[in-house]
Amino acid sequence: MTASTPLPRAPRDRAPRRRLRGIAAAATVVAVALGAVVASETAPAVAAATSDSFSRQSTGGWGTAETGGAYTSYGPAGAAFSVDGGRARIAGIPAGTSAGAWSAGTAMLDGTAGATVALVGTTPLGLYQAVEIRRQADGSSYRGKVELGRSGALRVSLSRTASSGASTALGSVVAAGTAEAGTDVNVRVRATGTAPVALAAKAWVAGTDEPDWQATATDASSARIAKAGATGVWSYASGSNSRTTTVAFDDLSRVPAGSTATPAPSPTPTPTASAAPSPAPTPTPSTPVAVPATGARGSAAVGSAAYPVPSGALFVSSGSGDDGAAGTQGAPLRTIVAAVGKARSGQTIVLRGGTYHEAVVVPYAKQLTIQAYPREAVWLDGSRTFSGFAKSGSSWVVSGYTPKHPTTIAGIRDNPRFVRPEAPLAARLDQVFVGGTQLRQVASASQVVPGTFHVDTAAKTLRIGTDPTGKEVRASDLRQALQVQSAGTTLRGFGVRRYATAYEDRGTIRFDNVRATVRDLVVQDNAMTGITIGNDGALLSRVTVQRSGMLGISAAYAYGMVVEDSVITGNNSERFKAAPVSGGIKIGRSRDVTVRDSDTSRNNGSGIWFDESCYDITVTGNTSNDNEYTGIQLELSDTAVIAGNSTTGGQTGINVFDTGNVRIFNNTLGGNSKFGMTLLQDERRQSVASFEGQDPRRPAIDPTVPWLTRNIQISNNVFATGGNFLIYALDKKTGIAVDRWNLTITGNLFAKRVATTDPAMVAWGQGDNRTLVRYETPAALAAAKGSGWRNTQTTGATTVSGMSAYLGQAASLAVALPSAIASLLGQATGVKRVGIF
């Protein structure tokens, strides 16, 4: 591939029904739009709107709606339906089961339905809820779903449920803000038409402004529901919940199209944009400057990018602008927030050189491009200056330190699941920089020494151990730089640094919608995660993400994502545990994802980590050396190519764990402290709901990702000396012998085991979860496992640098490069070579 600016593959806009890790049991329910659809003059008379405020009391079901019919309920044994005089409840929903109720009344074809929902209690639990519309007698329906993550993130999606209970996702999953556990959330869903059926859903926290429709879809399939039906609600308690779940509902309503709508649970804001977004202005450059396009990895240096400025752009200048100005080049706005508010969808916002101390949200209705002015240095900076330090013993103190940041992860202070004992303050978000150098936080004033700082939140003081004389002192006081809620928004050509991003914020730069594009962006020194992708079709090209506190790039439900020509190094600077999450890049529950031609080295964790039901993975041409844990890791996933990568140093070069159908070609491994490559299996299976990691957009039992290590081909790789084993293969829990995996090892170059302290060449697991048979030579391996396997070996224990002397000889035994892999590596089909090209 080239480093110019390749277009992303066409996104499928199948946005995920995202289930965040440890979904919080919080208010979630499907949004149903109460805004009535206006009927045409020739439309027939329609039924009246109905509603139920649940002001009655009942202990044996939900009784009969105030206007509408009696409720029919369903659920597992132990689920109890009641009405307490203000809300309807479903109590005792066991983990991994669903329950619901519907009121038939007069069937509705076109219209909206809505309800207010909440989790009863504040203990975080995995929870999905929905409002159902056009529900048929056989149980089929359309659902407007809401899920709430433990972080408080609300996400909205649409689906069609068949009579069998199988669910088909429709359209994209859309972020809908945040809500804490126990918060009331309004949900609405709308269905109109029959061929096709047009659907929409939304959700918002009760008491806040009602948004426009957030999730939309069209169902033209033969399975579409084209008949009038009932309205109802549905709840699903995650299989990972540690106890039963109780949910509550209020203000269930049904508004047929053309009827008079009942009052909405919260006011509808005046629209700020026309129904049809304005088209993007024609990109006529004001000056004929070229977009940076070099073969180097990583972003263009801040201040060197030169993207064309289209006519009709809005201009912003932090130094000379005025938010009351027109936003022209001669009269720029002062803040990005003001520019986003003023911009129309499709417009470009151009940032003049300077520092912007802002937290920006790009709303759902505005597809924007935000870029730096050609060759001007632009930084979004989440810190502010502090001065007036007074010497106090061997340190310096300033009063009036007011930044106050969360100290919890997943609701737990200094969560030990993430925080390692030797870095007890990793989850504290305070960041201090003296003369541009970041200091390390300590727990008490007495521990302050040069290079460290301490925050006394009660006294509101900041104490530093580095002399501030003649130096600028900055401390982070903003949490998030950019939350992009709109589809198709592009960020390019500037830098983002020093934000005190919390785990619950997900990322310093957070994309919630489809077709996100990031080019030539530098993201450095932020407290938790640098960039988060939460939807389909994203492209990250020539991006530099360094020294993030926990993780460089996070992605989930990101079908079709491409990361290329980027530098993601030195992340997990706060030294969180290697698992459940830290390091360079971690991607979960995504399909058709590519990470190529990037540097993911020297992260304190894994360099590249695919986890939890990823499918169709391509990892090619990367340098992922000297990571603390693993260079490249595939876990609970399936169908992947790992080719042309360097994964030297660290504990393990490549780890394939509960992952099948993997082709591992032409990589260079060595110098690893434990293993060159591990192939592992444990007890987890995708078909068992109690194991977390299923992709909720896929069938409950998804045959494409069974979480089985099998069908692995290892060819044309270089294994230099290092660690205990060059290849280690074992099922540690379920007794599947490696002989049953369909594992092929051929065409590779191995360092020779000379002394007993040298790593063993191949360890082959038996069927008892522990026994390994060792093969120390290619001949012994071929005699035992594959007579046609042809590997070669050096004459002595050889390091990575020494392996080059053997490459020519080993090439004669290499496997001819298959066309699919040759295309990914930019090589001719049939070429024979070992190691990286």
The reported pLDDT for the residue numbered 152 is 62
Q: How far apart are CA 174 and CA 157, in angstroms?
A: 6
Can you say how many angstroms the Cα of residue 768 is from the centroid of all Cα atoms in its chain?
37
Q: What is the pLDDT of residue 72?
A: 92
Q: How far apart are CA 458 and CA 468, in angstroms?
A: 23
332 sits in which H/E element? none
Which residue numbers in the chain have pLDDT < 70?
A: 1-48, 122-124, 149-153, 172, 239-240, 258-295
Please state, in angstroms and rounded to a whole number, the distance separating the CA atoms of residues 499 and 620: 32
Closest CA to 111 of 198, 13, 24: 198
Tokens of 327: 């936003």
Question: What pLDDT, on the 0 to 100 scale, is given for residue 24?
Answer: 28
> Which of 662, 665, 660, 656 has the alpha carbon at shortest distance from 631?
656
For 227-285, the pLDDT digits (tens) are 999 999 999 887 667 778 888 999 998 888 865 443 333 333 333 333 333 333 323 33
Q: What does each C-alpha distance from 298 to 293, 294, 393, 622, 648 come to in angstroms?
A: 11, 10, 44, 12, 20
Residues 6+ apart with CB under 8 A from 379: 302, 354, 355, 356, 494, 495, 496, 497
Q: Provide the β-strand partners of residue 84.
A: 57
**Based on the number of CB atoms within 10 Å of its own CB, is 728 exposed (0-12), middle (13-18) or buried (19 or more)?**
buried
pTM above 0.75, yes or no: no
The Cα 181–Cα 686 span in angstroms is: 28
Write down the pLDDT at residue 633.
Answer: 99
**How many Cβ atoms are within 10 Å of 744's Cβ, its own excluded?**
17
pLDDT at 19: 28
pLDDT at 287: 31
Instruction: Enter the DSSP assignment of 61.
Output: S
For 599, which DSSP code? Answer: B
CA–CA gap between residue 631 and residue 245 (Å, rounded): 40
Neighbouring residues of 137: CB distance < 8 A, sequence distance ≥ 6: none
Rounded distance between C-alpha atoms, residue 588 and residue 566, angstroms: 19
- DSSP code, position 823: H
Beta bridge partners of 293: none
Q: Residue count of the chain, please give it.
A: 837
CA angle 404, 407, 410 (to 5 degrees): 135
Q: What does the DSSP assignment read for 150-164?
A: TT-EEEEEEEEE-TT
| Residue in 302, 192, 214 with CA at minimum distance from that of residue 30 | 214
Which pLDDT value is given to residue 734?
97
Nearest to 462 by CA among 368, 534, 386: 386
Q: What are residue 654's phi and psi, to 5 degrees?
A: -130, 130
Query: What are the Cα distances from residue 506, in Å, to 472, 483, 502, 510, 669?
Result: 29, 10, 7, 7, 33
- Contacts of 721 by beta carbon, 8 Å cutoff, 6+ apart: 670, 671, 751, 758, 759, 797, 798, 799
